[in-house]
Amino acid sequence: MMTTKPRTSRQIGAMGRAALAGLGALTLLAASPARAGTITFNFGAITANGQTAVITGVLGQNAQSFTQAGQTISADAYCCATGSTATGAYVTQKAGSFASGEAGLGVSTNSTGSDPQWEIQKGSYLLLDQRALTGGYAISSLSIGSVQTNEGGTIDIYGGAFSTSSLDLSKLTLLDTVTNPPGGVVQTFTNQPNDPFFVITDSTGNIVVEQAVITAAVTTPEPASLLLLGAGLVGLGLVRRRAA
């Protein structure tokens, strides 16, 4: 029969301090702020639907999907409202760099391109669909380009049912207004909520959607938190060893 040697007050105190150190480190790790993950969609350079090269002009489909780092945003086009309904159109993509201010996504009413500049014209609508985003990602900012003097448009939230053939304009809620002046050729808006759909339309002239940035909190711990976790695990290990 084994006998257990009584613990001294010093041993019990050491065990308690080690346990507290371990639990404290785990608590700090859990409470440490997560670093944000960010993915940028530059629509003048990113390819659509797995194409091997960026297509200048009409892409030839009503909907296009753009994927970066495993995350996907889709675009749909609508034009020429009859009453409160706009009908399906063609998504266009104008190749180029973000810095140019002239690259990005637009709308065409036909497969040959009704706008030679491949942009969103007055009375046409580009819908961005973020329903496929996972892991907490959502659009956190949009950059609108090719906003020349006296041109403008709007960014709206769409609260209606999704359809590739029609857009219910009565379900649009204004989020941001694009104007020049006072804005420049490229204007970035960073107050987008987590709604499934955003609709960008032109009011005067023509504009493009140059860039979308998606952001999500990730659970990657910071190095300092990892050190604290290690110290906590060591402390808990000492407690276990002394208790054996």
pLDDT at residue 239 tops 70? no
pLDDT at 218: 61
Neighbours of 156 (CB within 10 A): 21
Pick the residue with more confidence: 92 or 229? 92
Closest CA to 139 of 191, 67, 96: 191
- What residues contact 198, with CB distance under 8 A and at least 6 apart? 127, 128, 130, 139, 142, 155, 156, 157, 158, 175, 192
**Per-residue tokens: 50:** 């797995």
- What's the rounded Cα separation, in Å, for the pair 242 and 14? 9
Model pLDDT, residue 91: 92
The pTM (predicted TM-score) of the whole model is 0.76
Placement of tokens 């906003």 in the chain? 147
| pLDDT number for residue 223 | 52
pLDDT value for 52: 61
Question: Are the CB atoms for 222 and 142 separated by under 8 Å?
Answer: no
- The candidate with the shortest Cα–Cα distance to 209, out of 131, 133, 124, 150, is 124
- Structure token digits, residue 37: 């993950």
User: Is residue 99 classed as helix, strand or coil in its secondary structure?
Assistant: helix
**How confident is the model over 105-157, as pLDDT tens digits?**
999 988 776 667 789 999 999 999 999 999 999 999 999 999 999 999 999 99
- Predicted local distance difference test score (pLDDT) of residue 6: 52
Look at 79-83, 187-191, 221-225 and tell me which has the smallest mean pLDDT.
Answer: 221-225
